[in-house]
Amino acid sequence: MYQLLRDNIEQHVHLSDAEFSHFATSFEAKEIEKKQFLLREGEICRFEGFVTKGIFSVYHLDKNGDKQILYFAHENWWVTNIDSFTNNLPSQLFIEALEDSEVLLISKSDKESAYINLPKIEKLFRVMTQKTHVALQRRMIDSLSKTADQRYIDFIEKYPQLYQRLSNLQIAAYLGVSHEFLSKIRRKIAGQK
Amino acid sequence: MYQLLRDNIEQHVHLSDAEFSHFATSFEAKEIEKKQFLLREGEICRFEGFVTKGIFSVYHLDKNGDKQILYFAHENWWVTNIDSFTNNLPSQLFIEALEDSEVLLISKSDKESAYINLPKIEKLFRVMTQKTHVALQRRMIDSLSKTADQRYIDFIEKYPQLYQRLSNLQIAAYLGVSHEFLSKIRRKIAGQK
């Protein structure tokens, strides 16, 4: 599982064996069973996590009590509630395992130490935060400019493997439509083929 | 205008006089008249900007051709389309001056040079990107969990000065409601006082 972390980091910065070994000791491995939570609403997020197995759903319960999924984090993705983690605020989000999952967790103080001891880590998280921000901005713009049909097709094309592993209910909660509406879209698309 | 930039940077990292002077030469000052654009949809965003005077509206034209304002950037705020800037992609956003405005612009290559010559700049932009990301995440969660009435009240409380300087039409486009609906909210709130 540490090799996956190393490959992920290597996309952005190069660490020597010694540097990586040192950085890797900051992480704690954790197993989370399906339907268990890595973070619940109201708790303070004390970690930034790197997913090595399984899938997590990061969601908010909206004013009607409906799940609104912000994003899914599967193997090779990072997962946290950056607002709660950075500002020590109670989380407005849940992070739930959708399969039996494994994550490598780093605490805030270990992250801060890494910034000081290994400046390349500063770059790593600057680039990663930038990518996450771009993803959220695209998601927001897509929700304004594309129909649910189009967003569903985009989702299948962009994340074919994720699509295989998720239920229709989960995909509906990500697209911000009801389960019934998603079924309609699926029938419509099937009819067009 | 450079003092404002220095004070803004100083919130996150400390630069010596020589370091700041060197970094400041990377910026180019630009005046933008009211209703003129710093960036239009389809153009590639070649800058990250720091606003020293005026206000900019960063918006997207949605599928119905309506303006959806992602955020306002006034004095002491940073403004860019990070997706277009980072990935050299045509912008899906407009950045328009709502008053006669002034910005300090830094190019991608000058930013990259600064990361190399002055590692503290890496931290500066890591922290700033984190803050921008938190703001966007909060905005997304608020739109899911709060009524338009509540988001209007929050906006007035959080940005009282901005509220004075914006038209109702602009605030409506930020809240994602029609001008008529905003008028209704305003009448309702006035009636409660």
Find residues 87-116 of chain B whose CB sits inside 8 Å of chain A.
87, 92-93, 115
Contact: B60, A145; criterion CB under 8 Å:
yes
- pLDDT score for B193: 62
Angle between helices A17-24 and A2-10 (to 10 degrees): 120
Note the pLDDT of residue B190. Answer: 82
C-alpha distance from residue B85 to each of A88, B43, B61, B80, B90 (Å):
30, 10, 19, 7, 9
> What mean pLDDT is predicted for residues A103-128?
93
Residue A193: predicted pLDDT: 62
Mean pLDDT by 10 residues, chain B (193 residues): 93 94 96 98 97 97 89 95 96 97 97 91 92 92 87 92 92 89 87 74
Give the residue from B134, B138, B150, B174 with the most A CB atoms within 10 Å of its CB, the best one to mutate.
B134
Distance CA B151, CA B133 (A): 19
Q: Measured between alpha carbons, how far is A39 from A58 in angstroms, rounded to an integer?
A: 9
Q: Is the separation of the CB atoms in A8 and A76 below 8 Å?
A: yes
A188 shares contact with chain B (CB less than 8 Å): no
pLDDT at A114 over 90: yes
Closest CB to A134 among B61, B70, B86: B86
Q: Is B146 on the interface with A (CB under 8 A)?
A: yes
**Per-residue pLDDT at A178 exceeds 90:** no
Query: What are the tokens at A157?
Result: 């094309």
Read off the pLDDT of each residue in A88-114 and give the average, rounded to a whole number.
Answer: 97
As a whole number of Å, the CA-based R_g of chain A is 18
Confidence of residue A186 (pLDDT cuts 50, 70, 90): confident
Whole-angstrom distance, CA of residue B191 vs CA of residue B185: 10
- Burial profile B42-59: b = 16 or more Cβ within 10 angstroms, e = fewer: ebebebbbbbbbbbbbbb
Mean pLDDT of chain A: 93
